Every structure is written in structure tokens, then in C-alpha cells.
């Protein structure tokens, strides 16, 4: 299964992207700021 990391500071956009990608079968991790995204990467 492919894994996607989304980094987005607008929480409604972040949640919408996450929900849509999970619906399509992707494993999704999220971060709401750049430093958090770099740590998860």
C-alpha cells in the first residue's frame, strides 16, 4: 500500500485531502506545519 504525507496548515483542507485519499485506499499521514512534516518524512 502506498503511503502519502500531507503537509498543510489549513486544517479543513488537510482533513479533506486526508479523507479523500483514504477513501481511495491510501495510507495517509498528516502534518500541520513544515517542521512536523520534516520529522515525519
pLDDT of residue 5: 98
Q: What is the pLDDT of residue 1?
A: 76
Q: CA–CA separation, 40 vs 33, rounded Å?
A: 11
Name residue 30's beta-bridge partners. Answer: 6
Specify the length of the chain in residues. 41
**Residues paired with 6 in a beta bridge:** 30
Helices (H), the chain: 11-23, 34-40
Residue pLDDT tens, the chain, 41 long: 789 999 999 999 999 999 999 999 999 999 999 999 999 99
Distance between CA atoms of residues 6 and 15, nearest Å: 10
The residue to which cell 496548515 is assigned? 9
- Please report, for the chain, the start and end positions of each structural domain, with discontinuous segments joined by +: 3-40
Amino acid at each position: 500500500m502506498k503511503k502519502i504525507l500531507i503537509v498543510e496548515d489549513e486544517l479543513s483542507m488537510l482533513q479533506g485531502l486526508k479523507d479523500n485519499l483514504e477513501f481511495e485506499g491510501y495510507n495517509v499521514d498528516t502534518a500541520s506545519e513544515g517542521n512536523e512534516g520534516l520529522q515525519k518524512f
